[in-house]
Chain A
Amino acid sequence: MTTEIKPINMPKWGMEMSEGDINAWYFAVGDQVNAGDDLVDIETSKIINTVTAPSSGILRAIIGAQGETHAVGALLGVIASAETSDADIQAFIARHTSAVPESEPEAAPEAVLTEAAPAPIAAPQVSSSSSKLAEGQDDSLVAASPVARRLAAEYAVNLNNITGTGRHGRVSKGDLEAAVIAAGGRLIGNTSNTKGSGAAQYGDDSHVKATPVARRLATQLGINLLECRVSGDRGRVCKADVDAVAALKKTLLAQTGSSAMAGTGNTAVESQPISGMRKTIAARLQSSKQTAPHFRVHIDAEIDALLEVREQINHSNSDAKVSVNDFIVKACASALIKVPALNVQFDGEQLSYFSNADISVAVAIDDGLITPIVTDANHKGLVDISNTIRDLATRAKLGRLKPDEFQGGSFCISNLGMYGIKQFDAIINPPQGAILAVGAGEQRPVVKDGTLAIATVVSLCLSSDHRIIDGAVAAQFMSVLKGYLEQPATMLG
């Protein structure tokens, strides 16, 4: 009997993602997985996220091994029932690895799932039951026990479809399981057997004669029984045979490891592959510098008045701890609305103008940097911006930002003032059109009306993409920005 084979594909989280690194699999080949189980961690542009199992079954093959990088849409693994033959699995893999859907940017795993499976298909038990029971409106108001609600999520069952027999019609665990069985489904964790098929490339080893211990061991070690010599009695693969293959693999692994080490002559050098985040930073910044002709405009702003307003706000409002940077975000938001030609994204072909200022703020984190976004900054008050940035920066450092919190944005601010940097210039964060580099506010001698005076001055440097932003526009933006910073009351209106 053949049943449906489900692919696990490299997901696409956001516009910018083109590939991902396989960080870790939670299951080994041969393991039973349930729909919704955490399956594999993928490290991508700036985050590590988890792909969950699209359906229940046995993880029959892993194509994307740990440490490898695969393109979006690429086949990473296969889930199928225990009955599906290894030959079918192999055929399925062959078909899917040759044709990676390159031109399907929005190919979510679910979309690929619905793709026609091999011709003769018997209705899959669990998924057919789920599909019948899955439909319906929001079931959050249905009376159900906590256990029943959790199970419903695992079976993808909508509780509206279950008749509750508990008090006041509350749905119990028993009601839910009865409905799943009645719909022709199977209970999770109740699968009769999980045949260990080992490494997929050797084919189905279920017919190989082996001792029970050898078979269990082979499953656990990911070894196909066809790889093993046969030295047991009555022509069976025994424990020693499996152990031998395991030992051989270990030696091979150690050799490849040591030969790689021998290549580096200098013992003081520690080589390590770069992280997914570093790779993304490298690729994006290189492409930005190569494709966007940067030009820079500098301006100095005196911020003594701003510092006074800041002091007043922080003193009068307990729940405010507004920083100079918060003022700069607010001022940029106002300036971007006034000079909309700078509030843009450009992908090389199309120019997108934004009606709101979604400002990315560069945050240094342990192994790189990330740019969480203050959305709608032009509609937010200073204290709101300040508290939003504190929350975003806190979670950025913990790696707890959601993709939509750092992907996008129409403008970027990078502030190195806290390190005492006087001024610097930054590389544009594509597809944005410009980035502002902010130095430290410091007391400097200034000439006012022909006499020497002291003022607190901050140096600002705007890098713009000259393909879409002209010098005069950049200069206009900087002069508006300077005006807001030097007369902060004007931006608070």
Chain B
Amino acid sequence: MTTQQFDLMVVGGGPGGYVAAIRAAQLGFKTALVEKQHLGGVCLNWGCIPTKALLRGADIAHTLKDAEHFGFTFDNLSFDIKKLVQHSRSVASKLTQGVAYLMQKNGVTVIDGTASLADKCLLDVDHNGTITQYRATHIILATGARARNLPSIEIDGDSVWGAREAMTPTALPRKLLVIGAGAIGVEFASLYNDLGTDVTLVEAENRITPAEDSDISALAEKAFKQRGIKVLTNSIVQSLDNSGANTVALISGSEGQQHLEFDQVILAVGITGNIENMGLERLNVASQRGFLQADGFGKTNLAGLYAIGDVAGPPWLAHKASHEAVICVEKIAGVEGVKPLNKDQVPGCTYCRPQIASVGLTEAQAKAAGHSIRVGRFNLNANGKALAINEAEGLVKTVFDEHSGELLGAHMIGPEVTEQIQGFGIAQQLEATEHELAQSIFAHPTVSESMHEAVLDSLGIALHQ
């Protein structure tokens, strides 16, 4: 058997893997990328992008409902979910082709198949039963992650959907149970509620979006309840009974147990890394709780092996994977000035309605870390633009270190805040203090003026509240 040789091989074609391959090829590595299914990974095919295409449909549904407020009325309004799903799939396939083009343009060899580590720096790639061996000085694993099951509840693709099934429905569920109120759970709850489904959202923690600042969670919960989403926090789905026509869920919470009936369930209780069947155990590659362990540049404990993106642990975000891809490859190549990933500077965005975006520490985390802090808040109901577009439900919250003026965290909920969070991200990267932000001129009328006001509030000089 002949063994092909590459300088650098990447396993997995998602936003971590394909970016690593492009950067490596740019730097002059002879590069190959192994992908078993779809270039683009979960993000492009089954995650970020197709869900945003669906959520655009939810936005339109919301706008149409809200249209009466602006004087419009409709007759015979109808909706075909198949067309919305079709739009979502076509966007995904377009982007996948885009990635294939980028691979070709950069001279990256794309290998179809499932990879496993035969030894250090040695990959076996199984393509329909034929195994080809490849040798590479550097191997980057970017194999991603998949939805996690609960011991008592598993995704079956029928009555219990994972994200994949939830983004390709053939009909709209009537009564939907969403288990888990993290980013994925609240996005689906928001989507299906806007499309007209009766949604119940169950979360084991004491608030929805438990990773966000508690003020943001509180506002999100209030907004969800106003929209008619039933929110059950501190609650656990004990079991599902599928024996009848509908699924009966046994839910235990602070008010005791209750049986509730649904025609569809979505399980969104987190993810687990794709680390199995790759020969990693045999080579003693270090992992922890289902994810590979790597240093700030993605290097694992095995010579020549690196891990980036979801498989290397939280935060499980496409842009974190892409960033890790670049720093991992640049570190290998000896590019000067490469800095390890600072997880406090990775923004997170949730595309429910209203949108949630944040970067850095929450107020509670900042206090727990021993900072003495200066907090600013600004409510969107005092923002002219937000009122004008009738989306004045929201909040901007900033957390500064009182002594250094460092922006420790920023938390936003409201219309298009996912497009605004970068402003705080840049300020953080440039180590701007609250004073530089206060001195910056924000355009009027914009929703992002609230960012400015929140900073002013932290100095006790907010102008419009």
- Residues of chain A whose beta carbon lies under 8 Å from any beta carbon of chain B: 145-146, 167, 314, 318-321, 386-387, 390-391, 393-395, 397-400
By the criterion CB–CB under 8 Å, are A398 and B302 in contact? no
Chain B residues lying within 8 Å of A314, measured Cβ to Cβ, are 120
Chain A residues lying within 8 Å of B435, measured Cβ to Cβ, are 167
**Given A321-B120, A321-B121: A398 in contact with B285 (beta carbons within 8 A):** no
Chain B residues lying within 8 Å of A391, measured Cβ to Cβ, are 334
By the criterion CB–CB under 8 Å, are B28 and A393 in contact? no
- Given the complex of chains A and B, what is the CA–CA distance between A488 and B301 in angstroms? 26
Interface membership of B332, Cβ < 8 A: yes
* Distance to closest chain B CB from A316 (angstroms): 10
Interface membership of B252, Cβ < 8 A: no
B268-283 CB mask vs A (1 if < 8 Å, else 0) is 0000000000000001
Give 15 A-B contacts (CB < 8 Å), ordered by A residue.
Answer: A145-B430, A146-B430, A167-B435, A318-B285, A318-B286, A318-B303, A319-B303, A390-B304, A391-B334, A394-B137, A395-B334, A398-B27, A398-B29, A398-B333, A400-B335
* Distance to closest chain A CB from B307 (angstroms): 13
- Residues of chain B whose beta carbon lies under 8 Å from any beta carbon of chain A: 7, 27-29, 120-121, 137-138, 283-286, 301-304, 332-335, 405, 430-431, 433, 435-436
* Distance to closest chain A CB from B425 (angstroms): 15
By the criterion CB–CB under 8 Å, are A318 and B137 in contact? no
Chain B residues lying within 8 Å of A146, measured Cβ to Cβ, are 430-431
By the criterion CB–CB under 8 Å, are A398 and B28 in contact? yes
By the criterion CB–CB under 8 Å, are A387 and B138 in contact? no
By the criterion CB–CB under 8 Å, are B333 and A400 in contact? yes
- Given the complex of chains A and B, what is the CA–CA distance between A397 and B121 in angstroms? 17
Chain B residues lying within 8 Å of A398, measured Cβ to Cβ, are 27-29, 333-334
By the criterion CB–CB under 8 Å, are A393 and B137 in contact? yes
Chain B residues lying within 8 Å of A167, measured Cβ to Cβ, are 405, 433, 435
Chain A residues lying within 8 Å of B286, measured Cβ to Cβ, are 318
Minimal Cβ-Cβ distance residue in B for A167: B435
* Distance to closest chain B CB from A48 (angstroms): 13
Which single member of A319, A394, A400 contacts B138 (CB below 8 Å)?
Answer: A394
Chain A residues lying within 8 Å of B332, measured Cβ to Cβ, are 394
- Given the complex of chains A and B, what is the CA–CA distance between A386 and B121 in angstroms? 14
Minimal Cβ-Cβ distance residue in A for B304: A321
By the criterion CB–CB under 8 Å, are A394 and B302 in contact? no
- Given the complex of chains A and B, what is the CA–CA distance between A321 and B433 in angstroms? 47
**Given A167-B435, A393-B137, A398-B29: A318 in contact with B283 (beta carbons within 8 A):** yes
A321-B303, A398-B333 known; 18 new pairs, CB 8 Å cut-off, are A145-B430, A145-B436, A318-B284, A318-B285, A318-B301, A318-B303, A320-B303, A321-B121, A321-B304, A387-B303, A390-B137, A391-B334, A394-B332, A397-B7, A398-B28, A398-B334, A400-B27, A400-B334
- Given the complex of chains A and B, what is the CA–CA distance between A319 and B120 in angstroms? 9
Minimal Cβ-Cβ distance residue in B for A147: B430
By the criterion CB–CB under 8 Å, are A395 and B333 in contact? yes
- Given the complex of chains A and B, what is the CA–CA distance between A140 and B306 in angstroms? 33
